Structure 1
């Protein structure tokens, strides 16, 4: 199976051919994938070099002329380094763009902490009006990229990862998708963490919702799930733990409820290691997830251990 990032350039190249509004803005990273597109559309494939602030500024300028810029580099260079430009050049000027990241939270451990961005979604959450897609499979990435480009002049972030689920799920760019029904609680699995969550909850009497679009947060789907599964909720996100707990709390503000946010911890892991080692260190492997989900929801092998209070 090819990766999400390997799908990125072919999908966007086709969009360049199909839509004269689409432009691509790069900062060296990913340029090789657009060599043919650059020959066909030299005025709409732009490489600004290793200048991430300019990357966003140029995209905003293109948007203000009526183009639909697609902007790509590693997440830490796309969201964290040029955050002021995202805030002002895009947000303050009401200019839309599609930001497409690579490397996710820790997809390239050998790159060190400079190439890790577990806080990207939380950081964008401080700004108004962003749609955030977190695909869990290359097919989903292709679909969500098309959704993002077609979203008028909106501000959209598409978070690509080397980690992926074995099978694609239906995605529509807005709603959470129920993949398992239960009565002892709701687990929301985001993007590439669906497979670990399904393995972790095997045999447990819980509802599992699959989220690939996390902003706007699908409060209606969460409320529907709690009608039959109770109001204990576990969020399992591939970025900073707790990023969506406030959104879940807001969705259930009219009900007594509990929310547990699982994800990447704040403590920096200073050894390179492998992706799998980082997954285990942050407690995102199936065994640890089962312990934490089961303990919070008081369930084991389909049974509620004690009555919900």
Structure 2
């Protein structure tokens, strides 16, 4: 199966051909994949070099002229390093862009901590008005990229990953989707965590919601799920643990509830290793999730067994 990032350049190249408003801004990373389309649209495919603050500033400048810029590099260089420009050049000037990241939490362990950004969504959460898409499969990434470009002049973040679920699902760029229904708690699986969550909860009587758009947070879907499954809620996110716990708490503010946020821990893992080893070390593999979810949700009630 190809990766989400494998889809990125072909999809965006087609968008450049289809829509004269679309522009692409790069900072060396990914430049080779756009060489052909750059010859067709030299004024709308820009490489600023290894200058991440300029990357965001250029995208904002293009937006001010009426274009719809797609800005791409690794998450640590797209959100963390130029955060002031994201806040001011886009947010303060009230212009939109589509930021598309790669290699976020720990997708490229050999790159070391400079190339890891598990706090990217939490950092964007400090700003107003961002839509955040976290696809869990290359097909979903393609759909959500198109949604993002078509979203008027909004500020949109699309988080691509080498981690992916085995099967893509129909996503609409807005709602959480019910994958499994139960009566003993709700588990919200974000993006590429879905397969591990489904394996972890196979014997538990839980509702599983699938989220590929996490901002705005689909409070209505969570509230609806808790009406039959109870108000023990577990969030499983492929980035910083607890990023969405406040949003879940706000959704259930008028009812007694409990929320457990699972995700990437704050402790830095100083041995590079492989992606799968980082997943396990942060407790996001199916075995670890089974233990952590089972201890929390509904007393670990098993399907078909009386409590």
TM-score, normalization by structure 2: 0.99
Runs in 1 of length 4+ with deviation above 4 angstroms? 303-306
Q: Corresponding residue for 2:222?
A: 222
The CA deviation string for residues 119-174 of structure 1, in whole angstroms up to 9 with x for no partner, is: 00000000000000000000000000000000000000000000000000110000
Residue 141 of structure 1: aligned partner: 141
- Which position in structure 1 is the counterpart of 2:300? 299
Residues 224 and 304 of structure 1: CA distance in aligned 2, closer, same or farther (over 3 Å): farther
Q: What is the distance in 2 between the residues matched to 1:123 and 1:304?
A: 42
When residues 224 and 36 of structure 1 are mapped into structure 2, their CA distance, relative to the original with a 3 A threshold, is: same
Q: Hey, what does 2:77 align to over in structure 1?
A: 77
Q: 1:304 to 1:258 in 2, by over 3 A?
A: farther
Residue 50 of structure 1 aligns to a residue whose secondary structure is coil
C-alpha separation in 2, matches of 1:251 and 1:170:
24
Aligned-partner Cα distance in 2 for 1:31–1:66: 23
1:189 aligns with 2:189: yes
User: What is residue 24 of structure 2 aligned with on the other side?
Assistant: 24
Shift of 1:305: 8.2
Query: Any stretches of 5+ residues in structure 2 without a counterpart?
Result: none
**Maintained 8 Å contact 1:4/1:137:** yes
Cα deviation for residue 287 of structure 1 reads: 0.3
| CA distance in 2 between partners of 1:303 and 1:77 (Å) | 49
Compute the displacement of 1:32 (Å): 1.0
Alpha carbon RMSD of aligned pairs, Å?
A: 0.9
Cα separation, 2, equivalents of 1:130 and 1:10: 25
* 1:48 maps to 2:48: yes
Q: What is the CA–CA distance in structure 2 between the aligned matches of 1:141 and 1:33, rounded to whole Å?
A: 17
Deviation string 1:162-210 (CA, Å, 9 cap, x unpaired) is 0000000110000001000000000000000000000000121000000
Tell me, in whole angstroms, the C-alpha distance in 2 between the residues paired with 1:35 and 1:3.
Answer: 20
Change (3 A) 1:104 1:234: same
Q: Which residue of structure 1 aligns with residue 284 of structure 2?
A: 284
**Contact 1:299–1:305 (CA<8 Å) still a contact in 2?**
no
Q: Pairwise mapping of residues 151-230 of structure 1 onto structure 2 (< 5 A)? A: 151-230=151-230
> Normalising to structure 1: TM-score of the pair?
0.98
Partner SS for 2:209? strand
Aligned length: 306
Deviation of 1:301 after TM superposition, in Å, equals 2.7
